[in-house]
Amino acid sequence: MRGIYAGSYDPPTNGHLWMIEQGARLFSKFFIAVGQNSQKEYTFSLEERLEMLREMCARFNNVEVVHFENKFLVKYAETIGVDYILRGIRNEKDYTYERSMRYVNSNMNETIQTLFMMSPRYLVEVSSSMVKGLVGSDGWEQIVSEYVPESVHSKILNKFKDINPHRSNRRTPETR
């Protein structure tokens, strides 16, 4: 069985890592796909996100990090012979959205199934947006370390090393 787990991973979090660990156990071949939308602005470049994910996934011999651009995930999954799309559910909002996407995907390809996986309670609030929102406040470096893998944390520290919470003209990740 071949599976795929897709996202923007801007940046990858411990929640993403948990999903990757589960998928690596479930599938003989598991793709971690970075979706790239040319209409969207990212904090980390495609190359940076791919590098962070490759470092996170290095210990899994059945995981491959790939990317796709301006394409429906299910259509990309067809091209690499995937049987299942793995999606994480943290709350009711995620479920409602993912359920709708599952039906859209099945309209495009009814042979590729979607599997939902519930996040453990300690990861329910973890998201890339939340992590980026923490950057800049006094002590952010330590707080962010609790929500991302160590290799990702070092990349975040490097990217935002010039942020000083005591300056009134500090820039947030969204304005960099």
pLDDT single digits (tens) 104-133: 999 999 999 999 999 999 999 999 999 999
**Is residue 72 domain-shared with residue 44, that is, in the same domain?**
yes
**Is residue 45 domain-shared with residue 80, that is, in the same domain?**
yes
**Is residue 10 domain-shared with residue 84, that is, in the same domain?**
yes
pLDDT in tens, 57-89: 999 999 999 999 989 999 999 999 999 999 999
Phi, psi dihedral angles at 173 (to 5 degrees):
-55, -35
Question: b/e per residue, 44-69, with b = 16+ CB within 10 A?
Answer: bebebbbbbbebbbeeeebbebebbe
pLDDT in tens, 35-63: 988 788 999 999 999 999 999 999 999 99
**Is residue 20 domain-shared with residue 69, that is, in the same domain?**
yes
Helix (H) or strand (E) holding 134: helix 128-134
**Is residue 52 domain-shared with residue 110, that is, in the same domain?**
yes
**Is residue 168 domain-shared with residue 86, that is, in the same domain?**
no
**Is residue 21 domain-shared with residue 93, that is, in the same domain?**
yes
Could you list the residue range(s) of the whole structural domain that residue 117 is in?
A: 2-123
**Is residue 87 domain-shared with residue 100, that is, in the same domain?**
yes
**Is residue 113 domain-shared with residue 134, that is, in the same domain?**
no
What is the CATH number for 23?
3.40.50.620
**Is residue 18 domain-shared with residue 49, that is, in the same domain?**
yes
**DSSP 3-state assignment of 119?**
coil
d(Cα 145, Cα 7) in Å, to the nearest integer?
21
Residues sharing a CB contact under 8 Å with residue 169, sequence separation 6 or more, in sequence order: none
| Structural domain count, the chain | 2
Q: Does position 176 have pLDDT exceeding 80, yes or no?
A: no
Name the residue with higher pLDDT: 155 or 175: 155
Our measurement of the distance from residue 88's CA atom to the centroid of its chain's CA atoms, rounded to an integer in Å, reads 10
**Is residue 105 domain-shared with residue 166, that is, in the same domain?**
no
Domain end: 83, 103, 123, which one? 123
**Is residue 137 domain-shared with residue 167, that is, in the same domain?**
yes
